[in-house]
Amino acid sequence: MPAIARGQENTTSIINWFVTLSGSPFNPVEVGFRVIDITGGLPGTQVFPTTPGTYEDVTNAPGRFADGSFYAYDNTAGAGWTPELTANLGTHRVEWRWRDMPGGPYWTGAEDVQVISGSAGASDPLYVSVADIRALGVPDPPSDVQVEAAIRLWQKFIERACRQWFYPKDLEMYLDGTDSDAIHFGVPIISIDEVRINDDPNPLAAELYRVYNAIDYPLDRQNPRVKLVSADRRPDIYTAPFYRGRHHFRKGRQNQYVKGTFGYVEADGSVPALIQRAVSVLVIEKLLAPIYPDPSLPSPPPLVSGVIKEEKTDGHAIKYDVTESMARPAGLSGITSNQEVLDIIRLYKAPIGCATPAHPSIR
């Protein structure tokens, strides 16, 4: 499922639609789309165009960017359709309609898209907004530009520390086969669009694999994976039907293809609240603390050593016990010692993937 942030302009690679005739790109005489907010359930409320029941015409350029290729374009704004900054977060449905000849019947199709938190012009959505940081007491200055730059910097730090991201991201991956019936991922799976196994150019039928992406229970996002099953739903790789050898991800280098949407998000596609909290705390800490100390201020007191544990008079040796401050962890390499942030990172840190031995493929 594609994702687009509040205030982010749609592009030809996010929300698009392709029309073919006998397998070849085809330009209908009329193509249009509309966007329905279904965050509260079906049938939902139309949010674009604003008049219910109407469709935005994208029959010709720029809405049609190639033969048979169309994308959600706002003709009035002269740009790709852009969700309002106040748009509801969650699933929206993009409904398309087209017809082959003037006055003929309409063909219809639809796809769902996640509207997520973000800001205008952002390549990656913001986990918290500038307004969120202002509401927590950050004055002006720093300017909005400086606040947004700080948000982007420290959310990247959170992603790096946790080894995963917290918004839906579309990925196409070529992975190594390991002679098992499962492929594991380091980031939770939101949805899988296509699986091709063992260098086969044809997509695998959806009933031949299972996607482990439950959010609530079982906790599949702690162990996200795609698992092959047999046509008669027997999950045993040794009794599965033959498919260019046994039905499994055969050992090889980048011989498995997976296309899908990944990210650690809540059920509505939003950023987890604790991650938003960690980013906010870091941004405020770094914006309000000076980068360089004021030389006019008194220097910090020296480190207080522990009690004397051992002393040698003639050898002039002395050994101190470890104090509480010396024993306490220093945080993430000095970046932050805020225990709240460190605890949140520990809660959301992805497991480290480990290589496992595989048996030779059955040829």
Q: How far apart are CA 250 and CA 363, in angstroms?
A: 10
User: What confidence score (pLDDT) does residue 264 get?
Assistant: 93
In this structure, are residues 46 and 71 in contact, taking their beta carbons and an 8 Å threshold? no
Domain 3-116 in CATH 2.60.40: yes
User: What confidence score (pLDDT) does residue 62 get?
Assistant: 94
The reported pTM is 0.56
Residue 322 DSSP symbol:
P
- Render the burial of 172-194: b for 16+ CB within 10 Å, e for the rest: eeebebbbbbbbbbebbbbebee
Residue closest to 119 by CA, chosen among 27, 197, 5, 36: 5
Q: How far apart are CA 283 and CA 289, in angstroms?
A: 10
Residues 6+ apart with CB under 8 A from 217: none
At 33 the three-state DSSP class reads strand
- Each residue's pLDDT, cut to its tens digit, for the chain (363 residues) gives 677 888 888 988 889 999 988 888 999 999 999 999 998 888 999 999 999 999 999 999 999 999 999 999 999 999 999 999 888 888 899 999 999 999 899 999 999 988 876 543 446 788 999 889 999 989 888 888 888 889 989 999 999 999 999 998 888 888 888 888 899 998 999 999 999 998 888 899 888 899 999 988 888 888 899 998 865 544 444 444 444 445 788 888 888 889 999 999 998 888 999 999 999 999 999 998 766 556 666 665 655 556 677 777 776 777 766 554 444 444 566 788 889 999 999 999 987 765 555 544 443
> Domain map of the chain by residue range?
3-116, 126-166+271-296+337-363, 171-262
User: What confidence score (pLDDT) does residue 323 get?
Assistant: 53
Residue 180 DSSP symbol:
B
User: What confidence score (pLDDT) does residue 120 get?
Assistant: 38
